[in-house]
C-alpha cells in the first residue's frame, strides 16, 4: 500500500498519528493509496519549521527568490505529462484538462517571477519640505493554504508562488482526496533550489486545519473549498487575528440573449457545464435563455449535443474523453440524489445521466451528462451547488428577469452573457452582482496578472486570489516618513499637529 506522507523541511516525512484517509482512483473505484492525517502536534511542528525558515527566507532578495521560481517553472513544464497523469489518476479529470489546470497554475508562477517589480512599494519625495515618504511591502510570515479536491495543482498554485515570492514561508494542506500532486510540486520546489522549510505540505483533515487557523505563528490563511467550510475558516482564523481569504462554492448562470449565436453558445455551454464532470467552481450550472423561442431552440441543440458527450476514464490511449468520473462514490450518490430531488420538485428531466449507457467505465464513479428544463428559483437544484454534470435551464422572460434571478442568488462567483448586442453586454457587466463576468466567454477565469474571486457567499474576505490582490494579501505595508535634517540649526520642538 502506497502511503502518502508529509513534506517538511525539504524532505518526505513519515506521519506519526496513525490516522489515514483512503485515496481512490475514481476511474476504477479502487483504492490507490492512503494518506497520512497529521495530528495537531505534527501540524504545530510544521509551523515551527516554517517559522524558523522565515527568518532567513524573508531576507533573501526578491531577485533571488524569483530565480528559484523561474527554475521551478521550467521543472513543472519538464514534468507536465507526469503531473497531469498524477492529477488524473486521483481526481479523474481527462488528461488534456489536467494539463490545462497545470498551465493555469504555471501562469501564476510566471506572474510571481516578476516579484522584484511587484513588491516595489511607493515613494514620494518632498511630502513636506525635506521630508520623503515611502512604503515597504514586507512579507507577513508563515502562511497557510487549504485547498479543495477539484484543482489539486492549480488552486495550490494560486497561493504559494506569490506567497513565497513575497518572502513568506508556507504550509500547504491539500485535499485529502487527491494529495499527491502538491507533494510532487513540493519536491520540484526543492529541486529548483528552494531552501528547506520554506514550503511544507501537511496532509490532514479538520484536526490539522484547526491548528493552522488558531496557532499564533500563522499570519495568513488562504482557503478554497465549499461555502460552509469557507465561512468557518474565515470566522475562526479572523478571530485569531489572521488575515484570511476564503473562497467558497458557486452556482454560475449563463444568460443567452435572443440575438446570441446559438451554436457558439451551445458549444460553450457543453464545455462549461460538463467539462471536468461539472466539478469546477466556475462551471456553468444554470443556462438562462431569454424568451421562449431562445429557450426552445437552446434546449433542442443541447439535447442533440448531449447525445455525443463522451464519458469515460481520464487516462486513455487515443483521443481524450470529454469528461471523466466524479471524485468519490459518496459524491456520485449525492449527484444522483440531486437529480431525484429535481424531479420531485417538478423540474422537467430532459436527459437523465443516471440512465446513460457508459462503456468501459467498470466500477468507476461515472454518471452521464444531465439536463433539466423549467428549473425555477426556490427549487433546491437551482439554489444549491450540485458540483456534478447537471445543467439546469431556467427560463427568463426578459433581460431584467435574468439579471434579477442571478442577483437574488446566494452565490456570486462567475457568470456569462452570450449576445451580439454591446449595449446588453455593457448593462450586464454593470448590473450583475457577481465577481467574474464573461461576455461571450463561458468560463471567465481571470489571468494570473488579474485577480480571481467571487462576490456574496462565494468569497469571505476583502482580497481575491493572485494578481495585485495576491501580492497585497501576502505582504504587510509599512510606510516610512523620513527627514534628514542637515543638522540641528534651530529650535525644533513643536507641540502642534504635524502638517509637514
Binding site for ligand NAD (CB under 6 A): 146-151, 155, 173, 175-176, 205-206, 209, 224-226, 229, 247-250, 281, 385, 387, 413, 454, 458
Q: How far is the CB of 224 from ligand NAD (least distance, A)?
A: 5
* Least separation in angstroms between CB 452 and ligand NAD: 6
Radius of gyration of the chain (CA): 25
Nearest to 169 by CA among 121, 233, 218, 236: 218
The set of cell numbers assigned to 314 is 481520464
**CB of 461: closest distance to ligand NAD in angstroms?**
12
Q: Which is nearer to ligand NAD, 250 or 298 (CB)?
A: 250
Can you tell me the distance from the alpha carbon of 35 to that of 6, in angstroms, rounded to the nearest whole number?
9
Smaller CB distance to ligand NAD: residue 141 or 179? 179
Residue closer to ligand NAD by CB (options 181, 458) is 458
Shortest Cβ 159–ligand NAD spacing (Å) = 11
Closest-by-Cβ residue to ligand NAD is 225
Cell of 213: 487557523
**By C-beta, is 26 or 62 nearer to ligand NAD?**
26
Choose between 209 and 288: whose C-beta lies nearer to ligand NAD. Answer: 209
Q: Grid coordinates in use for 334?
A: 449525492
> For residues 167-192, b (16+ Cβ closer than 10 Å) or e, as one string?
bbbbbbbbbbbbbbbbbbbbbbbbeb
Q: What is the 3-state secondary structure (H, E, C) of the chain?
A: CCEECEEECCEEECCCCCCEEEEEECCCCEEEEEEECCCHHHHHHHHHHHHHHHHHHCCCCHHHHHHHHHHHHHHHHHCHHHHHHHHHHHHCCCHHHHHHHHHHHHHHHHHHCCHHHHCCCCEEEEEECCEEEEEEEEECCEEEEECCCCCCCHHHHHHHHHHHHCCCEEEEECCCCCCHHHHHHHHHHHHCCCCCCCEEECCCCHHHHHHHHHCCCEEEEEEECCHHHHHHHHHHHHHCCCEEEEECCCCEEEEECCCCCHHHHHHHHHHHHHHHHHCCCCCEEEEEEECHHHHHHHHHHHHHHHCCCCECCCCCCCCCCCECCCCCHHHHHHHHHHHHHHHHCCCEEEECHHHCCCCCCCCCCCCCCEEEECCCECEHHHHCCCCCCEEEECCECCHHHHHHHHHCCCEECEEEEECCCHHHHHHHHHHCCCCEEEECCCCCCCCCCCCECCEECCEECCCCECHHHHHHHCEEEEEEEEECCCCCCCCCCCCCCCCC
Nearer to ligand NAD, 174 or 314 (CB): 174
Report how far residue 68's alpha carbon sits from residue 16's, in angstroms, rounded to the nearest whole number.
31
Question: Residue 372 in contact with residue 341, Cβ under 8 Å?
Answer: no
Q: Which of 396/448 has CB closer to ligand NAD?
A: 448
Catalytic residue among 113, 143, 166, 281: 281
Comparing CB distances to ligand NAD, the nearer of 225 and 312 is: 225
- In the complex, what is the shortest distance from the CB of residue 421 to ligand NAD, in angstroms, rounded to a whole number? 29
CB of 16 to ligand NAD, least distance (A): 19
Question: For residues 143 and 247, which CB has a smaller minimum distance to ligand NAD in the complex?
Answer: 247
Q: Which is nearer to ligand NAD, 449 or 455 (CB)?
A: 455
d(CA 302, CA 321) in angstroms, rounded, equals 18
Task: Please report how close the Cβ of residue 13 comes to ligand NAD at its closest, in angstroms.
Answer: 19
CA distance 170 to 199: 5
429 is catalytic: no
CB of residue 58 vs ligand NAD: minimum separation in angstroms?
Answer: 26
What minimum distance in Å lies between the beta carbon of 412 and ligand NAD? 10
Q: Give the catalytic positions in this structure.
A: 281
Amino acid at each position: 500500500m502506497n502511503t502518502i506522507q508529509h513534506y517538511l523541511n525539504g524532505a518526505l516525512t513519515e506521519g506519526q498519528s496513525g490516522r489515514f484517509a483512503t485515496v481512490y482512483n475514481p476511474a476504477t473505484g479502487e483504492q490507490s493509496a492512503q494518506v497520512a492525517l497529521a495530528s495537531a502536534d505534527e501540524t504545530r511542528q510544521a509551523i515551527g519549521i516554517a517559522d524558523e525558515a522565515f527568518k532567513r527566507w524573508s531576507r533573501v532578495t526578491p531577485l533571488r527568490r524569483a530565480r528559484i521560481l523561474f527554475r521551478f517553472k521550467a521543472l513543472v513544464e519538464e514534468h507536465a505529462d507526469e503531473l497531469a497523469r498524477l492529477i488524473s489518476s486521483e481526481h479523474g479529470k481527462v488528461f488534456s484538462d489536467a494539463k490545462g489546470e497545470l498551465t493555469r497554475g504555471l501562469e501564476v508562477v510566471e506572474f510571481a517571477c516578476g516579484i522584484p517589480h511587484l513588491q516595489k512599494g511607493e515613494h514620494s519625495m518632498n511630502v513636506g519640505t525635506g521630508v520623503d515618504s515611502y512604503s515597504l511591502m514586507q512579507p507577513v510570515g508563515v502562511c497557510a493554504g487549504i485547498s479543495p479536491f477539484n484543482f489539486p495543482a492549480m488552486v495550490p498554485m494560486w497561493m504559494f508562488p506569490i506567497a513565497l515570492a513575497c518572502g513568506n514561508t508556507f504550509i500547504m494542506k491539500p485535499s485529502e482526496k487527491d494529495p499527491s500532486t502538491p507533494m510532487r510540486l513540493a519536491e520540484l520546489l526543492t529541486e529548483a533550489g528552494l531552501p528547506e522549510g520554506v514550503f511544507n505540505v501537511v496532509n490532514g483533515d479538520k484536526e490539522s486545519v484547526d491548528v493552522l487557523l488558531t496557532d499564533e505563528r500563522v499570519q495568513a490563511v488562504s482557503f478554497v473549498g465549499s461555502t460552509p467550510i469557507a465561512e468557518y475558516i474565515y470566522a475562526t482564523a479572523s478571530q485569531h487575528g489572521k488575515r484570511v481569504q476564503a473562497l467558497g462554492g458557486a452556482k454560475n448562470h449563463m444568460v443567452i440573449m435572443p440575438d446570441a449565436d446559438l451554436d457558439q453558445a451551445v458549444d460553450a455551454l457543453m464545455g462549461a457545464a460538463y467539462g471536468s464532470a461539472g466539478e469546477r467552481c466556475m462551471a456553468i450550472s444554470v443556462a438562462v435563455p431569454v424568451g421562449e423561442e431562445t429557450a426552445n431552440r437552446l434546449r433542442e441543440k443541447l439535447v442533440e449535443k448531449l447525445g455525443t458527450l463522451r464519458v469515460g476514464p481520464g487516462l486513455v490511449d487515443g483521443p481524450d474523453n470529454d469528461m471523466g468520473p466524479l471524485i468519490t462514490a459518496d459524491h456520485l450518490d449525492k449527484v444522483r440524489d440531486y437529480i431525484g430531488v429535481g424531479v420531485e420538485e417538478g423540474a422537467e428531466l430532459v436527459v437523465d445521466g443516471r440512465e446513460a449507457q457508459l462503456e468501459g467505465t467498470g466500477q468507476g464513479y461515472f454518471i452521464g451528462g444531465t439536463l433539466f428544463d423549467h428549473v425555477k428559483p426556490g427549487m433546491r437544484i437551482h439554489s444549491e451547488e450540485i458540483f456534478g454534470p447537471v445543467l439546469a435551464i431556467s427560463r427568463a422572460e426578459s433581460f431584467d428577469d435574468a439579471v434579477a434571478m442571478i442577483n437574488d442568488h446566494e452565490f456570486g462567483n462567475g457568470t456569462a452573457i452570450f449576445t451580439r448586442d454591446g449595449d446588453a453586454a455593457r448593462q450586464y457587466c454593470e448590473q450583475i452582482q457577481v465577481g467574474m463576468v464573461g461576455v461571450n466567454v463561458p468560463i471567465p477565469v481571470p489571468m494570473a496578472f488579474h485577480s480571481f474571486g467571487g462576490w456574496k457567499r462565494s468569497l469571505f474576505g476583502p482580497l481575491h486570489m493572485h494578481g495585485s490582490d495576491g501580492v497585497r494579501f501576502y505582504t504587510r505595508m509599512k510606510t516610512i516618513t523620513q527627514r534628514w535634517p542637515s543638522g540641528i540649526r534651530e529650535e525644533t520642538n513643536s507641540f502642534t499637529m504635524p502638517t509637514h
